[in-house]
Amino acid sequence: MLDTPTAWAGIIVRTAGTDSKLFDGLVVAALAKIASKPVGNQLLTDIAAQVAKVKFGFTVCIKPKASIKQTFGPFIQWRVY
């Protein structure tokens, strides 16, 4: 498992070696969109403020849904969720 920190303390993205390499970027973009609104920014700020109370080093752990990588020939690849 690989834990990637985000711009907000206590919020991490956890991926396995078999997960899509694009997932981290999607999460960062989604968090930025959430933070762009006052309510979303307050939510992320409040989560980050709880980091002093964490037990395992993070408050929120975002993980991709389990998937299986499928291929058809050398150029066609997709994931089944």
pLDDT tens, position by position, 21-49: 889 999 999 999 999 999 999 999 999 88
Query: How far apart (Å, rounded) are the C-alpha atoms in residues 50 and 67?
Result: 31
Query: How far apart (Å, rounded) are the C-alpha atoms in residues 78 and 38?
Result: 36
pLDDT of 10 reads 87
Q: Tell me: pLDDT of 57 over 80.
A: no
Residue 50 half-sphere exposure, CB side, CA atoms within 13 Å? 13
